[in-house]
Structure 1
Amino acid sequence: MSAPHELTMLEQAAAVRRGEISPVELTTHYLERIERIDPALGAYLTVTPERALAAARDAERLLLAGGEPPPLLGVPVPVKDLTPVAGVRFTSGSAVFADRVAQQDAHLVTLLRDAGTVLTGKTNTPEFGLPAYTEGRVGPPARTPYDLTRGAGGSSGGAAAAVAAGLAAAAHGSDGGGSIRIPASCCGVVGLKPSRGRVSPAPWGDVSGLAVNGPIARTVRDAAALLDVLSVPAPGDPFPLPVPERTFLRWCDHEPRRLRIARWARPDVAGVTVHPEVLAAYERTSALLEGLGHEVVDVPQPLAPGDRDAFTPVWSVLAALTPVPSDREGELLPLTRWLRAQGQGVGGLDYARALGAMQAAGRTLARAVHPYDAVLTPTLAQLPARVGALRDDADPEADFAAQLAFTPFTAPWNIAGLPAVSLPLQWSAGGLPIGMMLAGRHGAEGPLLALAAQLEAVAPCRDHSPPARPCAPGGLGAQTRVSWGAGVGASGAGHSGQHI
């Protein structure tokens, strides 16, 4: 049998049910890998070995008792550290809360536990999940395992790095402006931002409707299965979507008919250019779709420069909502302080107007999407950025602008509340992952996953550990694995090309 971390999440769950590997063996395998590999990667802020092994032993007892086990019994799935797990350190990526312990579980944590998953820890996230990179003071930077000099993206950077490096079977992430899809692209994994209302935020909420929780996984099928677990509504949800009659995993077995797919690669942000290798990958992906029999239609960028300007004041208010003791505000990162200062200056009427303007931009995008079965864009405008390249503590406004230029394609789908998935379909000449994004109509995750699974089948890059040579477009390339270099230090600096 393959090494346990080389199996997909669903393959691990099946192996546990068949008795080919025990939950304790699987959990121990992951904990050993985390201890050995994560100091150079920065995927976890908190590891919970005692809790994980206790849950794994409980899973073994459940198997011995007989009956139908939960769908993901014994499978390690960490939670992003913006989401509380009762009794576990809960930093929100901030040194201000480095010693805080959560008092209650989020609804999705209960769903993951009921599905039988094992919590190995809390994954790395930047302060309050605000930036598109995962660099802060509470832990080391999260790095893409394809090149340790480059960041994992943000704000679910730790989750994506953990999945890509074989430190988790799959992971929970959250996305308010691209925070699942950005790191999925940087780390060469699948990242799905569901529709607004698909995954309950209970017992809390986001009045803007921007943020949603979702899965990060190695394969489309794993992402679909994890979404099936997460998409159970709770009473009082502000934007509830009913549980679909067909599971998202079953949608992955559905062969799409000939689809009409819109595409655009011109950002709506003035002055932003797209890297030539990203554009070439976008053209190759368009050819893959046409090769599958779909009609791919060039469509003008539906948003004009300035249409999404209301996103910034709304994002600033979200930054300001986190209560921080007044005597500790100075411990926050410069970007956080800058955003909070802007948010504190937004009055009630201004905020209501900004929400209205943001909703208008979302409607513009939704109208443009509606005549088509899906939309194709690059996930990011650039290749994965080097650690520190986007961050600018001396000039937070320049920092924010650099993030926007890096991620111009992601936030509009949060504004509109539409589903979007980043797929690891393409690679740069230097072996860096280039995510391609598919988006769809509200509530249409099923058809979107069916198309994503069809694409994945003709461009399969599903090796759990980052390969020394990635898959060639359109088929499975030679997969030469390279073991983790013995001389890699905790920082990973200067080790471009090291692989796990």
Structure 2
Amino acid sequence: MTEATRQMGIGQLLRSFSDGLSPVTVAEELLAEARLAGERHHHILAMDADAVIASARLSENRWKTGTARPLEGIPIASKGSVEFSNLLADAGAYMQCVVVPNAGGTPLNQPEGMDPTNPGAEAHMPGGSSTGSAIALACRHVPAAIGSDAAGSIRIPSLCCHVVGLKPSRGALGPALQGLSPTLCEIGPMARSVEDAALLYAAMSGQAAGEPLAKPPIFGIFDDASLPPAMMQHLNEVANRLGAQGAFVVRRNIPDFALSAEAGWTVLCYEAAHNMADMLPALRNSPTSYLKYVEKGLSITATAYQAALAFGAQFAAGLDRVLEGLDALMCASAWSAVPRRNDSDIAEITAKWGELCLPFNLSGHPALALQGPNHNGLPTGFQLVGHRGSEVELLASGVWVQRSTDYHLAM
């Protein structure tokens, strides 16, 4: 495989297929790359090489006969907990591999001993439960991936592995995932660039991809007084860079942000306890991180759960008002530098990261994880939060950010 082919995103591959590049050749080369990456980073749960090549042959025939579909011949990695066939098969994409659905714990369907590592910083955390999808993208054996997000599970791995991930609005891609928290969890696209994430989202949603912004965006920046100064400095650095490129950036406050995270944990744990109660004996015999949510949820009353949902509706309405007049709101998505895998307080650190993401699961607003500047050899990132139901417009804002900066090219 040439390095140029390995670096191709969705759009580049589709154009190359149209010009005669063989989807079978690409599939074979990316499979070889995936095998090597899986041996090193331990993120691939399952991969059927024969099925991959068969799918690529069908795609090659469609390109030759002029019947190519929107993502014809594009290999995808999917998180183990996400059903792929109903999302993208009709668009011509095919499953290259199923990736591990967690990191820092062993889910019940994950082989013992699989502990995924971060391709860009192997001593550091690769992220949360869509870690495998992010690793596959960072290793460049797929140009696109699917994850799910109940409390930052797309956005945190995207930051750690220096890729892009979208948590859509509530219900934007159909009924919620059952399991951990149907109210909070959304399936979303992940890629190395926002342009590719937009193409993937268009295929997943059936919507047309958006047009580029006609003028520089108006961004709010959430001036979070509780955020550690170094993290706020990173966000201000990005805001200053975007302002220099023509964006209009204004300071905004999000009322009750900390309380929204508390309410979000209440909803997540209560629903986890009730949806996974029959799995509790197995969970207690496994080091999965889900156990703590289920056990905490068992002590939450139905009254407290309903109160948290009611608070979430009020918080969402307040966030709608904060977003008035803005294209999107810039918010931090990390409480610290990417922690080391063996840090004794890593569980506490990652919980704090989740508290920066969870409010937007509770409110149902879309949130797009974007790469920030490299600091001390480690990735940084932030999230753009959009109006409810405005995924296409939010992705267009993200495209503008990446065309105005080089952060996504740094690692």
Distance 1:34 1:323, change over 3 A: farther
Once the two structures are superposed, the pairs formed by residues 74-223 of structure 1 within 5 Å of their partners are 74-84=73-83, 109-126=85-102, 133-136=103-106, 138-139=110-111, 140-201=114-175, 208-223=182-197
Partner in structure 2 of residue 55 of structure 1: 55
Look up the SS of the partner of 1:19 in the other structure. coil
> In the TM superposition, what is the alpha-carbon distance from 1:388 to its structure 2 partner?
4.0
The one of 246, 253, 259 aligned to 1:306: 259
The one of 245, 253, 268 aligned to 1:315: 268
Counterpart check, 1:362 vs 2:316: yes
Look up the SS of the partner of 2:262 in the other structure. coil
> In the TM superposition, what is the alpha-carbon distance from 1:390 to its structure 2 partner?
6.9
Partner in structure 2 of residue 426 of structure 1: 373
Distance 1:209 1:326, change over 3 A: closer
Q: How many pairs were matched up?
A: 405
> In the TM superposition, what is the alpha-carbon distance from 1:174 to its structure 2 partner?
1.0
RMSD: 2.5
Distance 1:135 1:12, change over 3 A: farther
Look up the SS of the partner of 2:239 in the other structure. helix
Give yes or no for contact 2:155–2:167 (8 Å, CA) kept in 1: yes
Residue-by-residue CA offset, 1:463-489 (whole Å, 9 max, x unaligned) = 5xxxxxx37xxxxxxxxxxxxxxxxxx
Distance 1:390 1:322, change over 3 A: farther
> In the TM superposition, what is the alpha-carbon distance from 1:201 to its structure 2 partner?
3.1
Once residues 62 and 92 of structure 2 are traced to their aligned partners in structure 1, the CA distance between those partners, rounded to angstroms, is: 10
Partner in structure 2 of residue 7 of structure 1: 8
Counterpart check, 1:69 vs 2:27: no
Q: Which deviates more, 369-378 or 174-183? A: 369-378
Distance 1:254 1:117, change over 3 A: same
Partner in structure 1 of residue 240 of structure 2: 287
> In the TM superposition, what is the alpha-carbon distance from 1:413 to its structure 2 partner?
1.1
Give yes or no for contact 1:124–1:134 (8 Å, CA) kept in 2: no
Could you tell me the percent identity over the aligned residues?
25
Letter of the 2:95 partner, please give it.
L
The one of 292, 314, 320 aligned to 1:338: 292
Give yes or no for contact 1:275–1:382 (8 Å, CA) kept in 2: no
Residue-by-residue CA offset, 1:353-372 (whole Å, 9 max, x unaligned) = 22222322333323222342
Counterpart check, 1:457 vs 2:403: yes
Once residues 326 and 462 of structure 1 are traced to their aligned partners in structure 2, the CA distance between those partners, rounded to angstroms, is: 41
TM-score normalized by the length of structure 2: 0.90
Look up the SS of the partner of 1:198 in the other structure. coil
Once residues 385 and 326 of structure 1 are traced to their aligned partners in structure 2, the CA distance between those partners, rounded to angstroms, is: 30
Distance 1:402 1:449, change over 3 A: same
Partner in structure 2 of residue 17 of structure 1: 18
Counterpart check, 1:260 vs 2:218: yes
Give yes or no for contact 2:130–2:153 (8 Å, CA) kept in 1: yes
Once residues 51 and 141 of structure 2 are traced to their aligned partners in structure 1, the CA distance between those partners, rounded to angstroms, is: 16
Look up the SS of the partner of 2:46 in the other structure. strand
Once residues 387 and 39 of structure 1 are traced to their aligned partners in structure 2, the CA distance between those partners, rounded to angstroms, is: 19
Partner in structure 1 of residue 385 of structure 2: 439
Q: Which deviates more, 322-331 or 191-200? A: 322-331
Partner in structure 2 of residue 487 of structure 1: none
Once the two structures are superposed, the pairs formed by residues 228-243 of structure 1 within 5 Å of their partners are 228-232=202-206, 243=207
Once residues 461 and 273 of structure 1 are traced to their aligned partners in structure 2, the CA distance between those partners, rounded to angstroms, is: 22
Give yes or no for contact 1:156–1:174 (8 Å, CA) kept in 2: yes
Once residues 186 and 382 of structure 1 are traced to their aligned partners in structure 2, the CA distance between those partners, rounded to angstroms, is: 11
Distance 1:450 1:63, change over 3 A: closer
Residue-by-residue CA offset, 1:201-259 (whole Å, 9 max, x unaligned) = 37869875311111110111100000001114xxxxxxxxxx4xxx23x32x333x344
Partner in structure 1 of residue 359 of structure 2: 412
> In the TM superposition, what is the alpha-carbon distance from 1:135 to its structure 2 partner?
3.8
> In the TM superposition, what is the alpha-carbon distance from 1:436 to its structure 2 partner?
2.0
Look up the SS of the partner of 2:86 in the other structure. helix
Give yes or no for contact 1:141–1:387 (8 Å, CA) kept in 2: no
> In the TM superposition, what is the alpha-carbon distance from 1:183 to its structure 2 partner?
0.8
Once residues 2 and 260 of structure 1 are traced to their aligned partners in structure 2, the CA distance between those partners, rounded to angstroms, is: 37
> In the TM superposition, what is the alpha-carbon distance from 1:323 to its structure 2 partner?
5.4
Look up the SS of the partner of 2:219 in the other structure. strand
> In the TM superposition, what is the alpha-carbon distance from 1:333 to its structure 2 partner?
2.4
Letter of the 2:315 partner, please give it.
A
Look up the SS of the partner of 2:95 in the other structure. coil
Distance 1:36 1:203, change over 3 A: closer
Give yes or no for contact 1:78–1:172 (8 Å, CA) kept in 2: yes
Once residues 175 and 160 of structure 1 are traced to their aligned partners in structure 2, the CA distance between those partners, rounded to angstroms, is: 13
Distance 1:123 1:74, change over 3 A: same
Once residues 19 and 126 of structure 2 are traced to their aligned partners in structure 1, the CA distance between those partners, rounded to angstroms, is: 35
Letter of the 1:10 partner, please give it.
G
Residue-by-residue CA offset, 1:123-172 (whole Å, 9 max, x unaligned) = 1222xxxxxx5542635222221111112101211101110111211100
Give yes or no for contact 1:4–1:29 (8 Å, CA) kept in 2: no
The one of 246, 258, 274 aligned to 2:228: 274
Give yes or no for contact 1:438–1:448 (8 Å, CA) kept in 2: yes
> In the TM superposition, what is the alpha-carbon distance from 1:10 to its structure 2 partner?
1.4
Once residues 178 and 55 of structure 2 are traced to their aligned partners in structure 1, the CA distance between those partners, rounded to angstroms, is: 26
Letter of the 1:72 partner, please give it.
L
